[in-house]
Amino acid sequence: MSKLEIAITTLEDAIHAQAGGADSVEISHDLSVGGLTPSLELVRQIRDAVKIDLHVIVRPHARDFVYTPDEISVILEQTQSIAQIGITGLVFGALTADKSVDIPTTRKVVQAAGKLPVTFHRALDESRDAEAGVHALIGIVPRILTSGPAPTAWEGRESLRQWVQNYGQYFRFVAAGSLKAENLTEFARYVRAPEYHFGSAAKIDEVVNVEKVKRLREILDNA
């Protein structure tokens, strides 16, 4: 059965996501810029309130996915702090100046996370050679959140389908990027990703809606 993840920024969102049948939430701050590192206090509140899996984004700024040495130091400090809270996993992504997947920085984050698994996020979709990036991540991270690569998961469905088929033994792929309930059945049956990640499709007025989450859960269960 495919897993359902909801992008959230508040405790209320987390409670609603769980009530709707989500398997996990991705916690961040300010989704308008793609999500930034949330406060430790928010993560603790959500941890204490729900029983589903919690993935936490580590991203200090929204400028791009290229980080300076000082910013990497901040990332590693944040990673170590969040890893001690008692969550399911961290979500991170970095690129080099030439837009390749930044493997050395990713390795440092994985090391800082200790036993906590790291998901490489949609920074991959902005890399100059996403296929090479996926291959380079083998053995480093167990999970990749991606749209294919393309601006949206629907546009990237062909590449994502191929990645699931060709690299599925190495990663759990999380299909993400403007997924909608209206075409989810067709998308899920074609791509066959093990996990699906939703933002606005699960919300009304920027708040996670229990009924919308239930609908997404129903569609995935029957796809």
pTM above 0.85, yes or no: yes
Interval 67-85: pLDDT, tens:
999 999 999 999 999 999 9
pLDDT at 132: 97
- For the chain, list the domains and their CATH numbers: 3-222 (3.20.20.380)
Helices (H), 84-118: 103-113
Average pLDDT in the chain: 97
Q: pLDDT tens-digit profile of 14-49? A: 999 999 999 999 999 999 889 999 999 999 999 999
CB burial string 79-106: b at 16+ within 10 A, e below? beebbeeebebbbbbbbbeebebbeebb
Q: What is the pLDDT of residue 149?
A: 86
Digit-coded pLDDT (tens) for 82-132: 999 999 999 999 999 999 999 999 999 999 999 999 999 999 999 999 999
Confidence check: pLDDT of 175 > 90: yes
Looking at the predicted structure, is the pLDDT value of residue 1 above 90? no
Do strands 143-146 and 203-204 pair parallel, antiparallel, or not at all (unpaired)? Answer: unpaired
Distance CA(115)–CA(88), nearest Å, equals: 10
Pairwise CA distance, residues 70 & 68, whole Å:
5
